[in-house]
Amino acid sequence: MAERKRELSRRAFLRMAAGTATVAVAAACVPVAPVGTGQTSTPADSTPGQEAQAIAFWHTFSTDPTRSQIGKVAEDFNAANDVYEMETVFVEFGTYTEKLLPSIVAGNPPDLALSTGMIDAPPWGLANQIVPMDDFLAASQNLSMDMFVPYTQTALTYDGKFWGIPFLPDTRFLHMNVDAMEEVGLDPTQPPQTWDDLWDYAHKLDRGSAPNWERVGFSPTWGNTWPWTIAWTNGASFVDENNNFTFNTPEIIETAAWYKEWVDYYGLASLQAFASTFGPGAQDPFTSGINPLQVNGVWYPDRIKNQNPDMRVAYSMIPYKTTPASWGAGHPFVIPVNSGSPDGAWTFIEYTMSYDTLLEWIQVTGRMVGRMDVMEDAQLMESKEHWPVAVESIRVTRERPLVPEVPAWYGLVNLAFNEVWEGVKTPEQALNDAQAAVEQELANYRATQQ
Enclosing H/E stretch for 413: helix 410-421
Q: d(Cα 323, Cα 235) in Å, to the nearest integer?
A: 6
User: Within a 13 Å sphere around the CA of 199, how many CA atoms are in the beta-carbon half?
Assistant: 11
Q: What is the pLDDT of residue 46?
A: 53
Q: d(Cα 387, Cα 375) in Å, to the nearest integer?
A: 8
Residue 327's φ and ψ, nearest 5 degrees, are -115, 140
26: CB partners within 8 A, 6+ apart:
none
Three-state DSSP state, 166? strand
pLDDT tens-digit readout, 82-136: 999 999 999 999 999 999 999 999 999 999 999 999 999 999 999 999 999 999 9
Q: What is the pLDDT of residue 47?
A: 58
Domains of the chain: 10-169+329-398 (3.40.190.10), 172-327+405-448 (3.40.190.10)
Q: What is the pLDDT of residue 244?
A: 96
Q: What is the pLDDT of residue 210?
A: 86
Q: What is the pLDDT of residue 250?
A: 98
Contact 245, 403 (CB under 8 A): yes
Closest CA to 258 of 214, 190, 213, 320: 320
Q: What is the pLDDT of residue 107?
A: 96
CB atoms within 10 A of CB 26: 12
pLDDT tens-digit readout, 302-359: 999 999 999 999 999 999 999 999 999 999 999 999 999 999 999 999 999 999 999 9
Stretches in the chain below the pLDDT threshold 70: 1-49
Q: d(Cα 102, Cα 93) in Å, to the nearest integer?
A: 15
Q: d(Cα 203, Cα 210) in Å, to the nearest integer?
A: 13
Contact 393, 320 (CB under 8 A): no
